[in-house]
Structure 1
């Protein structure tokens, strides 16, 4: 009888070293790049002459490619080797960052941002998988997971601050700064990471392509509707094509040997409600940061760095909400935690929708920004746990990945609708698109009304997340069991 093969891990004692610097550095760069552009949108629009829809596409193109291809990226790593695909993903992300920094018009920037998202979709899931194959179970892996997870929070905050600081000098540097960092990660990855065992798997490439293109076409149609007119052939054609592509995606997922989105996951009503709540919670965070950043820069005339610093109270409020939810999640039914967080978000967003150019930061924005952050923190702790409640440990990983995709795709899809609302509101009040600096007082007022109307759209998304949460029937005991199972999987 053959003896079982002993798994040898490159790192067995302490996580600190080149390997975790490489893996967590990639996670930091990917998360940071998802937010860093928000503070540069106003300058980007002025410098490149972007349309309102084009401005939103700068953040949407990245998120659509990242979210739409993330599941496929993880499967490619399993099939072709995680180290190899990690290096390919980082290389593509680095090259496309250079192209973003050198962009000369709307089209080249948006295409480059989509390539960035594609690189991130390949590198990010393989980086997380490499944590499990690089660090031995026990203290080393626990430390590595903690450092890796911390990069998500750090990247979200640093993205706003660094984005604001670099934009003061030039918006191009928010992308060009990735080039030397990406090169260093590739070199470090070649040295510090070990290739994993891999086997041929049937990859659901058609599903990934159809789903991503379908979402992109729908977003394009909704985004361009207010500018082109809803009867314009390009708008109608895009919406029709998007729906047909998504219908093709559903058909492929039902017949694929190894589907990205197994339909069996949607037989549980509680889990469906959880995914809906996750989708709309992601929509709130993504869209709210875009329009608050635009409002404080274009209407209140904040420089980018000051606008970025203005988001720090949001992070503080979110941290308080996270701490409170982490304590309460095993004692209070998750639906009530999520619904309470949604109500807090709604109150803050509704108040924000009433503001105009006479608002000041400390009198009108400071408390609502903290409150919205607290509401987000209260909601985002129980949602991922509800997604994996009551499933076998072998299903926790795939469900966690699908949860991330739902959250990531919620943002750009909602931003398309909310952006269309904002643009239509501005146009209906006599406003125009283009540079805020070139607008007369009436046009600037109309622009501000469009921005605050977008916050009303964010409040609707928060309400939908809270409403969906009311259908989640998991008990605190079930959530506690899911939390323990999730921790066991991370330690395995």
Structure 2
């Protein structure tokens, strides 16, 4: 493998790598704000609206582990450029989509591109910058792009959606083209490794999850006894069983079962999965509630979410210091409790709610609860293992968080739609609803927060089974830093 060439962090290489990370994160955020206008413009069904989010997350999460290994097998620069190029072309297709199928298919391809480019970009940080201050600063900048992209997505996405939802995707095209062009100049290729890629495992896992999500999403629309719903559910279960069988026989499995022998770690992954589910579902349904029920513009809706990010950031700063002093399970449990209280309160709101009177405190409070939970959990995932296992465990934790969202949204979305229909509401986009239908729609959206609260409660219960000590977590922090420094 080529030696790192950069001893200073500032330069074209970090712009390319961190720019991709920001674009990938920003794209996930802005889509939430565009759901309401998207549904009206393209006439999406309720399940189709959710597929705009889940198709991207399923492809991203399901193929992320394979995407990282493609860089090891064929060269990271080559696969990074390929991933960014696919993401950029798929963004163009999203911006030009003319119906539900073309948009969802393009979003899936976006997720595939992100699954190749994002993990490869992180690996390129280690091979592009020399160990020590340069690499540490590069990793810090790369990580910061996640937070900056999330907040920027709220503001930029809201502003662009005010003009047209298509712009939130089309803006990626010139940015992606610049990243590809600069990557040819700024990055060095890494040596290829002889690896047996677990392509069947990645495909089976992604298709299996997709089958389950399809069944849950389309159940309220098509009927729970319809052949398509039952068939998708059966196919999803069969494919996931086949995935487990393939993983047992694979030479280089995506999911090594030996990593799950520790019950503490299994509980950690469960908590990560459901914590990710809370963030994904809350972002979608709060955005829909404030736009469809309270009449917020997309920009105002984006601004309304900013306190969530500040609450999360403040809690993360607190948790990062407390996690080496008290058992991490208590932090996760406290965070889950705060989320449950905030979400259950949110589920009682209706069209009479005001931002400062009813939304501000729950939004910042739920963000604080998420921050308390999400800092200890990744450290628990890698606590008590050797340096060679840190990378795979950290990657699996990221996949668990990414896949928790779409799988939970399928269930929560089915709950919301069923609630709306049971109260006399209507399916899909309607040009103008009567007052009763609008009330039913709002009840469905707030009922989705009850489902999100259940996810938070499950994360809290799972945390009770995490027995890692503060000393083990402190060692995990040190090992993670050492692994990053190479």
TM-score (norm 2): 0.99
Matched, 1:11 2:2: no
Which residue does 1:344 correspond to in 2? 338
Which residue does 1:442 correspond to in 2? 436
Of 84, 88, 93, which residue of structure 2 is paired with 1:94?
88
Following the alignment from structure 1 to structure 2, what is the Cα–Cα distance between the partners of residues 8 and 131? 12
Of 128, 132, 140, which residue of structure 2 is paired with 1:146?
140
CA RMSD of aligned residues (A): 0.8
Which residue does 1:166 correspond to in 2? 160
Which residue does 1:56 correspond to in 2? 50
Contact kept? 1:345, 1:376, Cα under 8 Å: yes
- Measured after TM superposition, the shift of residue 436 of structure 1 is 5.4
Matched, 1:472 2:478: no
Matched, 1:381 2:381: no
Contact kept? 2:4, 2:126, Cα under 8 Å: no
Unaligned runs of 5+ in 2: none
- Measured after TM superposition, the shift of residue 109 of structure 1 is 0.1
Contact kept? 1:421, 1:453, Cα under 8 Å: yes
Contact kept? 2:277, 2:455, Cα under 8 Å: yes
Following the alignment from structure 1 to structure 2, what is the Cα–Cα distance between the partners of residues 81 and 264? 28
Of 359, 363, 367, which residue of structure 1 is paired with 2:357?
363
TM-score (norm 1): 0.98
Following the alignment from structure 1 to structure 2, what is the Cα–Cα distance between the partners of residues 433 and 241? 26
Which residue does 2:14 correspond to in 1? 20
- Measured after TM superposition, the shift of residue 8 of structure 1 is 3.0
- Measured after TM superposition, the shift of residue 266 of structure 1 is 1.1
Contact kept? 2:45, 2:429, Cα under 8 Å: no
Task: Give SS of 2:10's match.
Answer: coil
- Measured after TM superposition, the shift of residue 221 of structure 1 is 0.5
- Measured after TM superposition, the shift of residue 81 of structure 1 is 0.4
How many pairs align? Answer: 486
Contact kept? 2:17, 2:142, Cα under 8 Å: yes
Matched, 1:328 2:335: no
Contact kept? 1:298, 1:436, Cα under 8 Å: no
Following the alignment from structure 1 to structure 2, what is the Cα–Cα distance between the partners of residues 402 and 246? 16
Task: Give SS of 1:11's match.
Answer: coil
Contact kept? 1:32, 1:158, Cα under 8 Å: yes
Residues 42-86 of structure 1, C-alpha deviation per residue, up to 9 Å, x if partnerless? 000000000000000001000000000000000111000000000
Following the alignment from structure 2 to structure 1, what is the Cα–Cα distance between the partners of residues 204 and 3? 39
Of 150, 165, 177, which residue of structure 2 is paired with 1:156?
150
Which residue does 2:203 correspond to in 1? 209
Following the alignment from structure 1 to structure 2, what is the Cα–Cα distance between the partners of residues 187 and 224? 41
- Measured after TM superposition, the shift of residue 10 of structure 1 is 1.7
- Measured after TM superposition, the shift of residue 435 of structure 1 is 3.0
Which residue does 2:233 correspond to in 1? 239
Task: Give SS of 1:137's match.
Answer: coil
Which residue does 2:63 correspond to in 1? 69
